[in-house]
Each structure stands twice: as C-alpha cells, then as structure tokens.
Homo-oligomer: A and B are copies of this chain.
Amino acid sequence: MFYQLNLRLLRMLCFLALFVVFLVPGRVSSQNTDQEATWIWYPGDYEIWLSNKMQARRTEREAVLPPLWRYYSPYALVTFQKELELPEPDEVTLYTEGRFMLLIDDVLVHGRPKKFTVPAGKHKIVLRVYNQETLPAIYVDGTYLNSDNTWLTTHEDKQWIDENGIPHQSGTPWIPAGMWNFDAPDNKPSEFRLPTEPMGAKKTEAVGSGHLVDFGKETFGYVKLHGVKGKGKIALYYGESREEALDSLRCETLDHLSFDQAEASDYTVGQSKAFRYVQVQSDASVAYDSISMLYEYLPVEYRGQFRCSDDLLNEIWDVSAYTLHLNTREFFLDGIKRDRWVWSGDAHQSYLMNYYLFFDSPSVRRTLLALRGKDPVTAHINTIMDYSLYWFVGIYDYYLYTGDESFIQDFYPRMKSLMEYCLGRRNEDGFLEPLAGDWVFIDWADGLTKTGEISFEQMLLARSLEAMALSAEIAGDTEGRERYRSLADKTKEKLFDVFWSDTKNVMMHQRLDGKVVDDITRYANMFGIFFDYFDGEQKQSVKQNVLLNDNILKITTPYMRFYELEALCALGEQEFVLDEIRDYWGGMLDLGATSFWEKYDPTEQGKEHLAMYGRPYGKSLCHAWGASPVYLFGKYYLGVKPISPGYGDYIIEPNLGGLKWMEGKVPTPNGEISLRCTEREIHVKSDEGRGKLIIKSRTTPKTNKGTIKKLDVNAYQIDLEAGINYQISYKAVK
C-alpha cells in the first residue's frame, strides 16, 4: 500500500508544478470511522438541502432573494446498506427521517420495527428510506451495527424480485454514506440550527419616538425584544452602519412585527440578520423594555494565531479572524448581510484562510459539495466561468492541506462531469470564452473588459486541469489522468503562445476576434506567480511592469487584493505588503470598521463607502474576502505551508517583513505548528509531519537540535521532526 502510493506520487511529480509531493501518509479519511453511531445520508445531499434552505434566507426589505442559479435536490429515496459479520446477536435500535423498508439478508421485515435483532454471523442489512420533505437519513444504534460512513448508499436500488420471489440486483451505483456530527438519535439532521448566545446592546439612544441600538460591532443573529406589551406594530431597521439603520426608507433589511398581547413577554424575530445597529420604532400602543440579540455562530476553534510587534497588524488580524468567523456558517458565505449565498470564488479564499485559522475541514467539504450540486451540469457554478474553475483549485488546495483522499475518491465523478461541461464550452483554439449563460466575473473593477478570450480564465483552466489529473490519479482513473494531464499541458502552452508578450514581457489580458488586445491587467500576471507558471525572469518582469506599476488598472476589492498581495509575498515583498496591509485594512479600521468590507476605495468619502450596486447601503461591510490577512500572515510571515498532502511534509520560511518580532500558530490536520521569531531567535515546534525550516541569516544559525544545512548565501535549512522544541539563534537579513 505504502509502496504503491509512493510510486503513484512519484509519477505525479512529473506533471505537478507547484506543490511538489514527496510522500503521502496513507489514505486519510474525510470522516470519522469509529464504531459510534451517527446520522448518515446520501453523500452531498445534506449539503445541498441545507444550502438550499440557507441561501433562500436572504431578504431585501422583506422580499425573499433566493440565488440566481439552479438548485439541486437531495434524493427523496435512498437505500442504505451494510454487510458485516457479528460475533453474537446484535440488538439494534433504529431511527429514520422518512418512511422506511428494512431487509435483513434480502428478506423484508414486516411492520415498521423500532428495534430489531440481527443474529450472529454474516449479514446484509438494507434500509430503503423515502423522505421528500427533508431528506432520507438513518441512525442505527447497535453494539456492532452502527450507522457511519462504512455504510454504502445508493439512489438507484435496482433490486427486483422475480415471479418466484428471487431477488436480483445489478448495476447499483453504491457510494459511501455522508455524515457530519449528528451523533445522537434526537439530534436530527433536518432540525439542524447553529447555536446562539445572548448578547446585550452596547448603547441605546433615542431616535424620534424610538431608539437606535448599537451592539458595538458587526454581528449576526436574532434581535430579541424584552417585555413587549400592548397591541400595535414594531418596526426594526437594521444597519451595518449607523447611517443605514437610521435610514428606514432605504436600509437593506428590516422587520415589520405585529403584536397583540396584554401580558408582557419576550419576542425573538424569526430570521437572523447581519447588523451592528438596529433602529426600533413602535406604535404608541405597544411598549417594550429593552432590546438584546442572540448571536448565532458556527462553533469552531481559533486554532491559528498571530501576534507581532505592530499593534495595528494585530488588530487587523483580530478583525480579519472575526470577519471570517462571521462568514463561516452552515457554509462559507460571501457576506452576512448579503448575499448570504455560497459563491465559489469567495469560498475559495475562505478555504485558504480557514487552513490558517480554524482548519475546519467539514466546512470546506460542505461548501465544496453545496457548490457543486449534482448532475447534470447545465451551467457554471454560480453561473460564473471563473467560479467553476476555482472549485477545482479549491479541491487541489483541500487535498494539499488535509491529505483527504477519500473526499476525492467519493466525489471524483462530480469533478469529472463539471470538467467535461467546462471542456465542452471551449472554442476551436481550446480557450474558454463566454457563451450564453456564462458570466465572467474576475473582479469588480471599472473598465475591466470581460469578453472574448481572457488570459486569466485560461490560466485557471490550466490549473483546474492539473487538479483533475491529480484527482484522477487518486480516484484510480488512469485514462483520465493522462487525458487531463495532456489537456493541462496543452492549455498552458497555448496560454503562453497567445498571451505572453515577448516585447512587453508580461501576460496580456484579452484576445478579441483573433487579435491580442493592447491591454495589461494584474489578474493573470499575479496568478502566474503563485501558480509558479512563470520562470524567474518572467516573475521579475511581471513584478516591475505589472504589480508595482501604478499605470495598470488598480484593484479595489479585498477579493483581488488577496491574490495581489499573495503574489507580492511569493516574490519576497513581505515588507512592502505589510505597508499595503496597514494602509488598506488599516484604512477601513480608521473609518470605524469592526469587520472587513466587500470593497474599499480610499478615494471615496463619507457615505460613498456604504454604497454599491446603485444602492446607498448596497455594500456588504462584513465580507469573507476581507479577511485575507489571516492567510497572508500565516503563510507568508510565519511562513508555514504544506508541501505534501496533509502536512506530511511542510516548509517554514519565517519572514518578519520589517517587524521586530512575531509569534503564532498554524493548525495542521492533527496538531499545530507554533513559531516565535525575533530578529535573533526562532522557536519552533510541530506536532506532526516532516518540516524544513528555511532561514535567511547573516550568520550561520545555531540550533539546540538537528543540523544546520547551508543552502545558499545567507540561506540555511534545518530539518524538523515532530514533537521537538527547536531554538535557533541567527541574525535576520533585513
């Protein structure tokens, strides 16, 4: 097993550019496989069901705004099957969501038993469950027989009984069951709600005959009115900003409530919302004592940490972490006021940030599954071409950070059908250009052209094809691996043939009607850097002629700032990037931000900062893509990143970027890597994996453990083993 994997991975090396894979720690399960029972379902279906529900909760001034893309549905009829050998009879208790049929060894059990006994020996247990209202799920609780992801599921049972009562079955597409953390019988998947905690208001002031309640910072949850009494109406106007909450005619979200109660009682609104401020206006005939809220959140641990000698950066990290947490819910959201939808491009950044903060893999898997839906594929994810492609890149990253092969094995068919959809939309030159129904997003930027062949889209396609080749390998699809590898190579070659300008030494933006347009943008140029598609010379040219060139169309969203700053960090410009972060994210803090925004343009004034989409408060002031410092600090300052799946191997290249000191933690699948770094000392410890600490030092470093290897002038390496506290003295290169 080990040998085989190793060989396979060596073959991968031939065609994977960036993430050089040396070793893989065996199959890492995406899910718990112990003997405890948990609710199980058809894999991916719960994610589809829950995301459908969640995304339809978006409202705009009480109008419901479900997504513009298609919803898939869970299968209403699912068969669950488990074969096992029992050393003794097993008393089993059965819970289902849905009406069920139970077969033991192909024999129908009459009635609808809540308990049943399976005799000792080898047996096959089958449950066929119908549930059209929510989704079929089972919880089977015995000593030996327990529902978990070792059960197989299918939506096409195909077991038929002939004229003589003999069962036949063939061609049934079995797939391991899906699960999350519903580990008790009464913890039903269909009744899932995020937990809440009561939070009080920070300040309340009179506004007309009502009040403006300030919760002190951006938050999310359910407003609660205490001691409501009387008959009449109460209106709640929500605001991420004070201005929005006070503008009852134009604020984005509101609630109109009606009461008729002689006795005072508390009332919690039915739908959660994003806000910092709430303006409350009530009829004179109805009174209330006070306003509080129930803060609703996904319980995740802040496993990643970062502190440094610059308090502004510490505050930026804190607000970034909070911004990401607010947007990490049932799924990774784009923003909590709106859209409250799951967008693949936005989520892709959340995945990356998550690896440096929560390392919550179930959230990544849930989001990837919700985005993908099922077959047939009839449109790009979110209808956006780039967003289909980010989905593949997201799986690539997920595998690298977590080492979870089973996720790819289970869902490879869905990867394949989405990729075939993408490939089917290429033009004669093998390039993607928008067809009817395709939205090319790239970024919000004035004057950005998005028609014809865009180099950025082709670069994402090439990367996606690489992800497919890797996944095909993991899923055992040898033919697919060869095909995708070859397509990746061809796409990349063609990309450079057409878009790389030998005169300007940069990647051009667009080709229209067969002619490359004289237009350079940052997008493909910055992705080419951290995709490692450029050679050293190309990188330097891109850096000078694009990234550091103010004449190139500027980026005004934290969304693309993420990648721009990542590219600069990958080029070693940590100090420059810190200044950018201080300016850009610090700029938002200066304006009173308690979470980071969808878009920030330093040249705007006052209420301009709140407007977007032609609406005065259209802008989201808590957008996941605003949280990127969490990622940058972990990956490019603490400098920790995996180089083989699941941190089997990793690298640490600390870079102070001009700071006096920094310290922090980066989570790994089963532990963490902790680091403290000054200009003279580095302390590092990891719980798992084989690390390489790369240090730039003006002198030869000294270490309490391990060996110092010289790599280059002022560059040294120390190989790290798990569980050891390394203390290294050195002199940082400034």
Residues of A at the B interface (CB closer than 8 Å) are 49, 52-53, 56, 60-71, 73-77, 99-102, 108-112, 128, 130, 132-134, 155-166, 168, 170-173, 375-376, 378-379, 383, 435-439, 444, 612-615, 618
Q: Which of B60, B67, B172, B437 meets A77, CB within 8 Å?
A: B67
Q: Which residue of B lies closest to A382 (CB)?
A: B160
Q: A133-B133, A172-B437 are in contact. Are A76 and B68 (CB under 8 A)?
A: no
Chain B nearest CB from A218 CB (Å) reads 22
Q: A52-B132, A383-B158, A612-B163 are in contact. Are A111 and B64 (CB under 8 A)?
A: no
Q: Which residue of B lies closest to A133 (CB)?
A: B133
Q: Which residue of B lies closest to A65 (CB)?
A: B101
Cβ contact within 8 Å between A132 and B53: yes
Q: How many copies does the complex hold?
A: 2
Residues of B within 8 A of A161 (CB): 613
Cβ contact within 8 Å between B71 and A74: no
Q: Which of B68, B100, B376 meets A64, CB within 8 Å?
A: B100
Chain B nearest CB from A378 CB (Å) reads 6
Cβ contact within 8 Å between B61 and A77: no
Cβ contact within 8 Å between B160 and A68: yes
Chain B nearest CB from A99 CB (Å) reads 4
Cβ contact within 8 Å between B71 and A76: yes
A62 to B60, CA, bound (A): 48
A73 to B68, CA, bound (A): 19
12 other contacts beyond A64-B100, A160-B383, A164-B614, with CB at 8 A cut-off? A66-B128, A68-B160, A69-B157, A70-B77, A73-B73, A73-B76, A133-B134, A163-B444, A165-B613, A165-B614, A165-B618, A171-B436
Chain B nearest CB from A479 CB (Å) reads 18
Q: Which residue of B lies closest to A66 (CB)?
A: B130
Residues of B within 8 A of A160 (CB): 68, 383, 439
Q: Which residue of B lies closest to A158 (CB)?
A: B383
Residues of B within 8 A of A99 (CB): 56, 64, 66
Residues of B within 8 A of A168 (CB): 439
Chain B nearest CB from A95 CB (Å) reads 15
Cβ contact within 8 Å between A379 and B101: no
Residues of B within 8 A of A101 (CB): 63-66
Cβ contact within 8 Å between A73 and B74: yes
A157 to B70, CA, bound (A): 7
Residues of B within 8 A of A162 (CB): 613
Residues of B within 8 A of A612 (CB): 163
A437 to B154, CA, bound (A): 13
A618 to B77, CA, bound (A): 24
Residues of B within 8 A of A173 (CB): 378
Q: A63-B109, A71-B155 are in contact. Are A379 and B171 (CB under 8 A)?
A: yes
Q: Which of B73, B163, B436, B618 meets A75, CB within 8 Å?
A: B73
What are 21 A-B contacts defined by CB distance under 8 Å?
A: A52-B130, A60-B108, A63-B101, A63-B102, A64-B130, A65-B108, A66-B101, A69-B156, A70-B77, A71-B75, A71-B76, A71-B77, A133-B134, A156-B383, A156-B437, A158-B383, A161-B613, A165-B613, A170-B437, A171-B436, A173-B378
A436 to B68, CA, bound (A): 38
Chain B nearest CB from A134 CB (Å) reads 8
Residues of B within 8 A of A112 (CB): 62-64
Q: Which of B73, B164, B435 meets A613, CB within 8 Å?
A: B164
A56 to B133, CA, bound (A): 13
Cβ contact within 8 Å between B77 and A156: no
Residues of B within 8 A of A383 (CB): 156, 158, 160
A378 to B53, CA, bound (A): 27
A67 to B157, CA, bound (A): 9
Cβ contact within 8 Å between B378 and A70: no
Residues of B within 8 A of A436 (CB): 170-171
Chain B nearest CB from A337 CB (Å) reads 15
Chain B nearest CB from A338 CB (Å) reads 11
A173 to B734, CA, bound (A): 60
Chain B nearest CB from A598 CB (Å) reads 10
A109 to B67, CA, bound (A): 16
Chain B nearest CB from A39 CB (Å) reads 18
Cβ contact within 8 Å between B64 and A76: no
